[in-house]
Structure 1
Amino acid sequence: MPRILAIDYGLKRTGIAVTDEMQIIASGLTTVESPTLIAFLKTYFTQEKVEKVLIGEPKQMNGLPSESAVIIEKFILEFVKVFPEMTVVRVDERFTSKMAFQTMIDSGLKKKQRQNKALIDEIAATILLQDYLGRKF
Structure 2
Amino acid sequence: MGRILAIDYGTKRTGLAVTDEMQIIASGLTTVETQDLITFLKDYVASENVELFVVGLPKQMDNTASESEVYIQKFIDQLSKVLPDIPVERIDERFTSKMAFQTMIDSGLKKKQRQNKALIDEISATLILQSYLASKS
User: TM-score, with normalisation over the residues of structure 1?
Assistant: 0.99
**Residue in structure 2 matched with residue 19 of structure 1 by the alignment:** 19
Partner of 1:79: 79
Q: Does 1:51 align with 2:51?
A: yes
For residue 2 of structure 1, what is the amino acid of its counterpart? G
Q: Which residue pairs with 2:130 in the alignment? A: 130
Q: CA RMSD in A?
A: 0.5
Query: Are 1:94 and 2:94 counterparts?
Result: yes
Unpaired runs of 5+ in structure 1? Answer: none
Match of 2:121 in 1: 121
How much does 1:29 deviate?
0.2
How far 1:22 sits from its partner (Å)? 0.7
Say how many residue pairs are matched.
137
- Return the alpha-carbon distance in structure 2 between the equivalents of residues 16 and 94 of structure 1: 16
Work out the percentage of aligned pairs sharing the same amino acid: 70
Structure 2 counterpart SS, 1:59: coil
> Could you say which residue in structure 1 is the equivalent of 2:36?
36
| 1:22 maps to amino acid | M
Most deviating of 76-85 and 121-130:
76-85
